[in-house]
Structure 1
Amino acid sequence: MSNLTGDSTVSSSRRGRGRVVGVPSQCWCGVAVVEKISKSDFNPYRRYYRCSYAATHKLENDNHIFKWVDEALLNEIDKLGAQIRKIEEAMEKIEHGREEIEKMMFESLKMKLENEILERVEDALLESKANTRNMMICGVIGCVLMIGLVKLLG
């Protein structure tokens, strides 16, 4: 099996139609992929994925799927890393959006509270003005009565 005796630097993209990223499950020919163990001198006991048709018929230098397991697993790790980065970016966008919503809600609540406080202050001022006016009227009436009493008695 010449494709099993190559060193690990031989790219599995030369084997199989197109580059298979990650763990292959099916060959381009439609047959399932099986896991095998190399018995070569260059890669003893190294695990690989192989098209079961090609493995059964002991085909060499063919276009059926062949990929080292360690390379496939590294591809899977890279894909997961990319997915994690996308999820983190989405979470950052969601967090930023949530912060913006919270900020808008805070500003709205702040405006409502400021308006309520302003209304209460205005009500208190109106009440104070009314009380002051009443006290002034009472003071004027009191003064008029005193002047009237002083003239009457005097």
Structure 2
Amino acid sequence: MTSSSTSSSRFPRISTYGVPTRCWCGEGITTFGSSTAENQYRRFHRCEIAKGRKSENHLFKWIDEALINEMRMVNAKHERVAQGLTNFEKRVMEKVKSEIARIEHEVSQKLKEKVKLEIARVEKEMKQKLKIATVAMVVVGAIVGIWNSLTV
């Protein structure tokens, strides 16, 4: 089996990459089997018009070569898509990390604010209780003083 893309015609063929769907003339492509001794039963794509007009330069492509070309194109596209997904994933992760940092900062600020408010509330409450305790001690001291002056 030869890997040549040329036929027995004396005219050069217009090369196509991958599996062809139409000839340059616009005609659809048909699949044939080779009957030459060199490529016995080897399958190829050919323009239907070229079957009757061997002197014209219409599409000719071995099926195995077309499929290999097609697989290479699919592999290349797969690589581009995989690279695109990797890049997309990196961008998304950067945005997620940035958003997490922003939210952590915002929560931290709100938490600090709430802690300050709670400390101020507790401080105010403690001052109130301290005032009451001070007044109570003054009253008790006065009562003790009066008691002492009355009992002496």
TM above 0.5: yes
Kindly state the Cα deviation for residue 68 of structure 1 after the two structures are TM-superposed: 0.4
State the TM-score, normalizing by the size of structure 1.
0.81
Residue 39 in structure 1 maps to residue 30 in structure 2: no
Q: How does 1:64-83 map to 2 (within 5 A)?
A: 64-83=58-77
Aligned-partner SS, 1:123: helix
Q: 1:136 aligns with which of 125, 130, 133?
A: 130
Residue 50 in structure 1 maps to residue 42 in structure 2: no
Aligned-partner SS, 1:44: coil
Distance of 1:74 and 1:128 partners within structure 2: 79
Kindly state the Cα deviation for residue 135 of structure 1 after the two structures are TM-superposed: 2.1
Kindly state the Cα deviation for residue 131 of structure 1 after the two structures are TM-superposed: 1.8
Hey, what does 1:3 align to over in structure 2? none
Q: How does 1:73-152 map to 2 (within 5 A)?
A: 73-152=67-146
Aligned-partner SS, 1:22: coil
**Percent of pairs identical after alignment?**
24
How many residue pairs match? The answer is 145
Aligned-partner SS, 1:107: helix
* Unmatched 5+ stretches in structure 2: none
Residue 16 in structure 1 maps to residue 10 in structure 2: no
Moved >6 Å (runs of 4+)? none
More deviation in 36-45 or 81-90? 81-90
